[in-house]
Amino acid sequence: MNVNITGHHFPLTDALRGYVSSKFARLSRHFDHLIDASVVLSVEKLRHKAEATLHARGANLHAEAVDQDMYAAIDMLTDRLDVQTRKFKEKIRSHHAKDVHKGALLS
């Protein structure tokens, strides 16, 4: 999965890049059909905001998180995206399982 990381109104350090990359590697372990992700990290006074859009086959997943610490905002963001990817994965799985059962009944 390709991860594009940009900083808005502050310099993006290598430590932040590495932290975001390691957190998003966890998302790709849960769900293999993720194509790419675009992450925007921004600072407005004391609000650290992290937002991301994941492009998967069949859906675009978006989440954002705001906290007073950038690392905490990234953690909240990846947790939210993790829930969304698991929900999307179950939706795909249950959809295909219904088709298999219908085919068995029709035969």
The CATH number assigned to the domain holding 87 equals: 3.30.160.100
- 57 pLDDT band, cuts 50/70/90, is confident
Evaluate if residue 4 carries a pLDDT over 90: yes
Give the number of domains in the chain: 1
pTM of the model: 0.82
Q: From CA 94, how far away is CA 20, in angstroms rounded?
A: 31
Expressed as residue numbers, the domain containing 24 is 2-106
φ/ψ of residue 81, rounded to 5: -70, -35
Tell me the C-alpha to C-alpha distance, in Å, between residue 58 and each of 46, 71, 84, 89: 36, 30, 13, 11
